Amino acid sequence: MQTDSSFTFVLFGGTGDLSMRKILPALYEAHRAGMLAASGKIVAVARHEEDRAGYLQWVNEHVKAHVAKSGIDEGAWASFVDRIEYVKLDLGKAEDFVKLRDALQDQSGTRVFYLATGPSLFVPICHALASVGLNENARIVLEKPLGYDLRSSNAINDAVGEIFAEEQIYRIDHYLGKEPVQNLLALRFGNALFEPLWRREWVESIQITIAEELGVEARGDFYDNTGALRDMVQNHLLQLLSIVAMEPPHSMDSDSVRDEKLRVLRALKPIDPRDISKVAVRGQYHAGVIRGTSVPAYATESGVKTDSATETFVALKVEIENWRWAGVPFFLRTGKRLADRVAEIVVNFRAVPHSALGASALRAGANRLVIRLQPNEMIRLYCLAKKPGEGMNLSSVHLDLAFDQFFKEGQMEAYQRLLLDVINGRLALFVRRDEQEAAWKWVEPILNEWAASGKPKPYAAGTWGPAAASAMLAQHGTCWLEEEN
């Protein structure tokens, strides 16, 4: 489906890593699929001394490698780069924003400003846009992290909110655009099979994991002042938790969905600082081996302080104090330099209360739903079946929804979906300010306690994190999915 109207997509940080790896490839895929209005334009903005030809050469060198598996269609690529203009802009020069306004004067339709920059630049850019009248009839996209804590997040939101109305602000979290997350909503609210089971009477526990094999790469300076709790938990993991646990919305319009997510975030049981050691584990990777390659310790990475107490791993036990989920533990986990790259949601259903078929039917986790977000997106339902042959011997089997096999159409990448939603004015998959505030309020006691306490627990790169993360689940009679397998 094509975008509703003409648009001008202004990309601040147009030469940056995020633009090259995610944003421009996503716009190219939307263009190739015929989803962008023919009159739509892309205006890249950066400080580099380039003309349009020089910028397009940069795009050719750095974007093509990140296009999806289907590769480049040279005809589509040529017509895509025809959409792109380049404006050199120094944020410290007011006259450069006048030049930007003049460059946009002949463009019609929706105007989108995407800030693929550091959060410290969000407010100066917004003020500069307003100074030349570019905040009117426009949408602004803010990348994470939006602040360092609740206070700084509120400061940014207050400043941006003076210039753009809330319905103009799109706070992006790309995990919400992933196909399996959308399918989770379809499974829950479109099928009578799952919704009656989606509650404390039938769910024993839920795990949400976002694991990375990579370390901090070239982001040591940024990451050492951020850490896994701010970088991943406050946004991605709590957003996934709210999608899993939310009540059925009245409709799929933006405020109905976000109202239900907010109710979950506000129902999170506050963490008492005295209990943090029981429900929160933080770790930091040391040297190790990943897929046969030796990797260094976090403290020796470029840009990282040698005595750093920044966590690269977090595991949490979370409870939701409402009627549907009271007493059900949610286990959240994220980390760098772990044994595998995987993002998944695991719903463990309770065992049957009594079985005439033997102990296998009473095993925890015999019935389980696994929603894999990456690397291979799929949904898998585990259940028990009789083994062929004599006797009533049960074995675990699974039913798969593998999207690439079941649906012949190509899958839409998360950024592609979200960028189309921005252009078309759909806010449901973006984070509202009150959601963000609720997440920061819940996270802050952990941040404060960790800032006042000792160093994170060490774990070897290439493992699944500190042993304390496994011990935390063992106290509840369960384990992480990979440990069971």
Q: Per the annotation, where are the binding residues for NADP(+)?
A: 47, 90-91, 144
CA atoms of 329 and 475, how far apart (whole Å): 11
Contact of 349 with 203, CB cutoff 8 Å: yes
Can you say how many angstroms the Cα of residue 189 is from the centroid of all Cα atoms in its chain?
Answer: 22
Q: Residue 453 contacts by C-beta under 8 Å, 6 or more apart in sequence?
A: none
Q: What are phi and psi of 26, to 5 degrees?
A: -65, -40
Secondary structure (3-state) at 138: strand
Put residue 316 in one of left, alpha, beta given phi > 0 → left and psi -120 to 50 → alpha. beta
The DSSP code sequence of 35-96 is -S-TT-EEEEEESS---HHHHHHHHHHHTGGGS-TT---HHHHHHHHTTEEEEE--TT-HHH
Single-letter code of the amino acid located at 442: W
Provide the b/e sequence for 441-479 (b: ≥16 CB within 10 Å): ebbbbbbebbeeeeebbebbbbbbbbeebeebbeeeebb
Binding residues for substrate, by number, are 174, 178, 212, 231, 336
- Opening angle at CA 125, ends 121 and 129, nearest 5: 175
CA atoms of 179 and 156, how far apart (whole Å): 30
Place of tokens 């696994």: 370
CA Rg, the chain, in Å? 24
Secondary structure (3-state) at 370: strand
Secondary structure (3-state) at 98: helix
Q: Which pair of tokens denotes residue 434?
A: 């009150």
Is 236 a residue of the active site?
yes
Q: How far is CA 358 from CA 293, 348, 362, 394, 395, in A?
A: 45, 20, 8, 8, 11
CA atoms of 147 and 127, how far apart (whole Å): 17
Contact of 259 with 442, CB cutoff 8 Å: no
Active-site pick, 236, 250, 398, 476: 236
Residues with a known catalytic role:
236
